[in-house]
């Protein structure tokens, strides 16, 4: 994490009492009682919640199967369909006319989609997928803009038991190809284009590109005509979404699925190798997406308008744009476009126009909006807002205070939610009307979550710094890495194998009140604007360019993005004037624009220990422009330091 942020977080002492509310969790006593219920009867409490909140096709008799850790199974003899829980049950109980999705287009167009309408479209999409040969257990990749059809496609997959894998539309054709091949998808769903800053981005072009380089498993491409741009069309393979849906029935019985049926695969970066496909199951994931809407956001489906600004290409979009709000029968707002387009007031304009009550975004967006100035939010009526959330990266106290004062007008609790792609839903977060908050702290584990800060031996740290672990399984935990059991064990379970703890990869500090302060990743994973990127992935992209011999990538402080990307590169060829631009474009093509290094510094050598390991701490100090604190006595070639420092 950015050193200034760490320092401001370490100095933070302010405490804010939760606002008064008549909600079900209205004091820390309620948090304690609910948390205690899990301590006293872990399985019984989870079982009761799963019965109360979800609609089952066949009820379960066993809550947790721990016979083969870390391959935990939840509610495993039960049967359930997620799309039935997100749609049919609401329509059946008379909520068919309620708005499920409010969609705001960047160009100004708005759609309100009711539960009845959404169910009908999901059934048509499910029948379309079936007509294209998709069966239960097949994989379908989505490469889509933020439009209602994306949610429809996800729910249609869930309805027939096809495992979806959404790939963020900002990833390159190359990254898309890797993911399609790893998942072995038989169908890809995309759009002709999506809007960003008034420009239509040609999504289908990237899919065509990816498919032309491999992806032999793909039989069909289902294309939503949305951007109005011309696209190449391969007869027999490409299918028009609207035409296909129009020909299908709006009735499609929900497939009977086991609780553990793989609902989705979502690729995320780790410290080694290519991105890994995190696998989530159906029942456990759904239960926690459903419950955390209530715990962390105090979500009231009958009256709230919930807006999560994350793209559905990330876990936040899965759990809190689509599944969490819809499972509760509430209204979710989806915005296609850039939050600062045409100006930095766009977000607040949308909040005013659609009367958003619960708003959820990333600290990076908050910092960018602070920079744009208070005139933007002050020009809009934000009085309907009642809860404000943040996610994805540590929030610096200054940004927290601005969010609290300028946006929340000191009325709205700030909910800083710590979680990961792997956890499926929130793990550490305040309950907005129960937990006193401290700027920069995600506060306390949610009821049912057993999180601790431990030392290198796995011993619990009562107060102070250490590593963040989860000491008990939880229903929405990842079930594995697609196709790679040993990587799953090595990445998450090996470090504290003697204790059976899940290792999150984050450093954290526990204060005198038991509050947890997340200090950032302790592995070679960067957090750039709340997006996770592996340093090794970027290094591999750089060395795949013919001019590059070796590359070392580290994070560097960035006031807006939290962390920037700093690459040290040795060359095979001589340096040319445009090489920095060429290499940035190359990384963009290999991974996506989000992975473009902010700084590329050429050097004739990288600092290595005598055993040949790159001295990353030294590089991090240099990238941060700091005095060198690491021990350089083992550095082979000490003269390289001045070059690395750009002198
Ligand atoms: O380092 C933590 C950071 O984001 C990582 C997870 O990234 P990803 O799987 O992409 O999911 C992001 C959205 C859930 C974590 O290991 N992180 C997430 N939330 C917070 C955070 N760091 C500090 N505070 C948070 N609230």
Ligand 1 pocket test target in 430, 518, 521, 522 with most atoms within 8 Å of CB = 518
Residue 299 Rama label (left phi>0; alpha psi -120 to 50; beta): beta
Rounded CA-CA distance 541/401 in Å is 39
**Ligand 1 pocket member 276 (CB < 6 A):** no
**Ligand 1 pocket member 5 (CB < 6 A):** no
8 near 398, Cβ under 8 Å? yes
User: What are residue 228's DSSP bridge partners?
Assistant: none
Q: How far is CA 172 from CA 104, 126, 178, 565, in A?
A: 25, 27, 10, 18
Cβ neighbours of 314 (radius 10 Å): 22
Ligand 1 pocket test target in 264, 285, 418 with most atoms within 8 Å of CB = 418
Nearest CA to ligand 1 atom 11: 420
* pLDDT tens string 432-442: 999 999 999 99
Rounded CA-CA distance 149/214 in Å is 26
Q: What angle do CA 342, 348, 350 make, to 5 degrees?
A: 75
Residue 315 CA, ligand 1 centroid: distance in Å: 10
In this predicted structure, what is the pLDDT of residue 3? 62
User: What are residue 98's DSSP bridge partners?
Assistant: none
Give the SS3 label for residue 135. coil
149 near 193, Cβ under 8 Å? no
Element (H, E) at 123: helix 115-131
**Ligand 1 pocket member 505 (CB < 6 A):** yes
**Ligand 1 pocket member 426 (CB < 6 A):** no
Nearest CA to ligand 1 atom 5: 420
Q: Is the pLDDT of residue 9 over 80?
A: no
Task: Name which of 494, 513, 612, 536 is nearest 15 in CA terms.
Answer: 513
Largest CA distance in the chain: 74
**Burial of residue 286, with CB atoms counted within 10 A of its CB: 0-12 exposed, 13-18 middle, 19 or more buried:** buried
Task: Name which of 572, 612, 587, 464 is nearest 537 in CA terms.
Answer: 587
**Burial of residue 96, with CB atoms counted within 10 A of its CB: 0-12 exposed, 13-18 middle, 19 or more buried:** middle
Residue 307 CA, ligand 1 centroid: distance in Å: 19
Q: Is the pLDDT of residue 634 over 80?
A: no
Which residue carries 């096709």 as its tokens? 57
* pLDDT tens string 294-353: 999 999 999 999 999 999 999 999 999 999 999 999 999 999 999 999 999 999 999 999
Is residue 609 very low, low, confident or very high in pLDDT (cuts 50, 70, 90)? Answer: confident
Percent with pLDDT over 90 in the chain: 89
Is residue 2 very low, low, confident or very high in pLDDT (cuts 50, 70, 90)? Answer: low
**Ligand 1 pocket member 503 (CB < 6 A):** no
Q: 593: which DSSP letter? A: G
Q: How far is CA 6 from CA 68, 468, 518, in A?
A: 39, 16, 10
* pLDDT tens string 537-582: 999 999 999 999 999 999 999 999 999 999 999 999 888 889 999 9
The pTM score is 0.96
Nearest CA to ligand 1 atom 24: 394
Angle, nearest 10°, between helix axes 535-543 and 579-590? 120
In this predicted structure, what is the pLDDT of residue 425? 98
358 near 297, Cβ under 8 Å? yes
The residue that leads in pLDDT, 629 or 205, is 205
Q: 168: which DSSP letter? A: -
Q: Is the pLDDT of residue 29 over 70?
A: yes
Share of the chain residues as helix, strand and coil, in percent rounded to the nearest 5: 35, 25, 45
User: What are residue 189's DSSP bridge partners?
Assistant: 142, 222
Residue 523 CA, ligand 1 centroid: distance in Å: 13
Q: Please list the alpha-helical segments (H only) found in 213-282.
A: 241-246
Nearest CA to ligand 1 atom 14: 420
Residue 67 CA, ligand 1 centroid: distance in Å: 30
**Ligand 1 pocket member 417 (CB < 6 A):** yes
CA 633 from chain centre, in angstroms, equals 41
Rounded CA-CA distance 239/189 in Å is 9
Is residue 4 very low, low, confident or very high in pLDDT (cuts 50, 70, 90)? Answer: low
User: What are residue 425's DSSP bridge partners?
Assistant: none
**Ligand 1 pocket member 88 (CB < 6 A):** no
Residue 270 CA, ligand 1 centroid: distance in Å: 13
In this predicted structure, what is the pLDDT of residue 612? 85
Rounded CA-CA distance 98/96 in Å is 6
Which residue carries 């977080």 as its tokens? 9
The residue that leads in pLDDT, 27 or 220, is 220
CA 382 from chain centre, in angstroms, equals 26
Residue 27 CA, ligand 1 centroid: distance in Å: 26
Residue 530 CA, ligand 1 centroid: distance in Å: 7
How many residues comprise the chain? Answer: 647
Nearest CA to ligand 1 atom 7: 420
In whole numbers, what is the pLDDT of the chain averaged over residues? 95
**Ligand 1 pocket member 392 (CB < 6 A):** yes
**Ligand 1 pocket member 268 (CB < 6 A):** yes
369 near 401, Cβ under 8 Å? no
Cβ neighbours of 331 (radius 10 Å): 27
Residue 435 CA, ligand 1 centroid: distance in Å: 20
State the average pLDDT over residues 231-248.
98
Residue 418 CA, ligand 1 centroid: distance in Å: 6
User: What are residue 528's DSSP bridge partners?
Assistant: 531
Percent with pLDDT over 70 in the chain: 99
* pLDDT tens string 110-129: 999 999 999 999 999 999 99
Nearest CA to ligand 1 atom 8: 420
In this predicted structure, what is the pLDDT of residue 1? 63
Element (H, E) at 388: strand 387-391
Q: Is the pLDDT of residue 161 over 90?
A: yes
314 near 531, Cβ under 8 Å? yes
Nearest CA to ligand 1 atom 4: 392
Nearest CA to ligand 1 atom 10: 532
Record the tokens describing residue 549, joined without a space: 């011999």
* pLDDT tens string 485-500: 999 999 999 999 999 9
Question: Which atom of ligand 1 has the smallest separation from the CA of 419?
Answer: 14
Pair type for strands 110-114 and 139-143: unpaired
State the average pLDDT over residues 417-426.
98
Question: Which atom of ligand 1 has the smallest separation from the CA of 417?
Answer: 26
Task: Name which of 420, 318, 310, 435 is nearest 364 in CA terms.
Answer: 310
Cβ neighbours of 484 (radius 10 Å): 15
State the SS3 of 273-303. Answer: CCCEEEEEECHHHHHHHHHHHHHHHCCCCCC
Rounded CA-CA distance 371/251 in Å is 50
Is residue 638 very low, low, confident or very high in pLDDT (cuts 50, 70, 90)? Answer: confident
Weakest mean pLDDT among 460-469, 565-574, 579-588, 624-633: 624-633
Cβ neighbours of 605 (radius 10 Å): 14
């Amino acid at each position: 994490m950015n050193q200034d942020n760490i320092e401001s977080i370490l100095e933070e002492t302010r405490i804010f009492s939760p606002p008064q509310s008549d909600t079900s969790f209205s004091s820390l006593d309620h948090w304690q009682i609910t948390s205690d219920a899990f301590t006293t009867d872990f399985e019984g409490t989870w079982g009761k919640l799963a019965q109360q909140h979800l609609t089952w096709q066949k009820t379960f008799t066993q809550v947790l199967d721990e016979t083969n850790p870390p391959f935990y199974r939840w509610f495993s003899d039960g049967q359930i369909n997620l799309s039935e829980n997100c749609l049919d049950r609401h329509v059946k109980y008379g909520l068919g006319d309620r708005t499920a999705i409010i969609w705001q287009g960047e160009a100004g167009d708005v759609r309100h989609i009711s539960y009845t309408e959404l169910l009908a479209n999901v059934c048509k999409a499910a029948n379309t997928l079936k007509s294209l040969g998709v069966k239960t257990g097949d994989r379908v990749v989505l490469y889509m803009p933020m439009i209602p059809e994306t949610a429809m496609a996800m729910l249609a997959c869930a309805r027939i038991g096809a495992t979806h894998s959404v790939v963020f539309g900002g990833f390159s054709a190359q990254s898309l190809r890797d993911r399609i091949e790893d998942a072995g998808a038989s169908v890809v769903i995309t759009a002709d284009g999506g809007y960003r800053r008034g420009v239509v981005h040609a999504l289908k072009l990237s899919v065509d590109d990816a498919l032309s380089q491999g992806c032999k498993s793909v039989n069909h491409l289902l294309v939503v005509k949305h951007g109005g741009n011309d696209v190449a069309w391969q007869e027999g393979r490409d299918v028009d979404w609207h035409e296909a849906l129009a020909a299908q029935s709006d009735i499609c019985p929900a497939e009977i699925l086991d609780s553990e049926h793989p609902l989705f695969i979502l690729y995320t970066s780790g410290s080694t190798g290519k991105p890994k496909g995190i696998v989530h199951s159906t029942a456990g994931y759904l239960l926690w997406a459903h419950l955390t809407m209530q715990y962390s956001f105090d979500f009231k489906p009958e009256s709230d308008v919930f807006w999560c600004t994350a793209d559905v290409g990330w876990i936040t979009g899965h759990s809190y744009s689509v599944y969490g709000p819809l499972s509760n029968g509430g209204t979710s707002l989806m915005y296609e476009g850039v939050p600062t387009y045409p100006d930095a007031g766009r977000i607040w304009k949308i909040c005013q126009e659609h009367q958003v009550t619960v708003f959820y975004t990333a600290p990076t967006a908050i910092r960018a909006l602070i920079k744009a100035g208070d005139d933007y939010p002050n020009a809009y009526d934000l009085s309907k807002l009642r809860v404000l959330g943040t996610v994805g990266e540590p929030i610096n106290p200054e940004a927290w205070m601005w969010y609290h004062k300028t946006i929340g007008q000191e009325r709205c609790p700030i909910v800083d939610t710590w979680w990961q792609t792997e956890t499926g839903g929130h793990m550490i977060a305040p309950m907005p009307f129960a937990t006193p908050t401290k700027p920069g702290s995600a506060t306390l584990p949610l009821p049912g979550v057993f999180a601790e800060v431990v030392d290198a031996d796995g011993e619990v740290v009562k107060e102070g710094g250490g590593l963040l672990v989860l000491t008990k399984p939880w229903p929405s935990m990842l079930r594995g890495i697609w196709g790679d059991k040993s990587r799953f064990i090595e990445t998450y379970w090996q470090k504290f194998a003697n204790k059976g703890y899940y290792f999150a990869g984050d450093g954290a500090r526990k204060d005198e009140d038991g509050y947890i302060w997340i200090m950032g990743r302790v592995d070679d994973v960067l957090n750039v604007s709340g997006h996770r990127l592996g340093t090794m992935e970027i290094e591999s992209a750089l060395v795949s360019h013919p001019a590059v011999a070796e590359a070392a990538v580290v994070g560097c402080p960035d006031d807006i993005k939290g962390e920037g990307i700093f690459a040290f590169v040795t060359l095979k060829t001589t340096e040319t004037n445009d090489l920095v631009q060429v290499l940035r474009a190359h990384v963009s093509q290999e991974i996506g624009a989000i992975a473009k290094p902010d700084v590329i510094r050429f050097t004739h050598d990288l600092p290595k220990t005598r055993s040949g390991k790159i001295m990353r701490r030294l590089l991090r100090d240099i990238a941060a422009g700091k005095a060198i604190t690491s021990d350089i006595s083992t550095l082979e070639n000490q003269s390289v330091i001045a070059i690395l420092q750009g002198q």
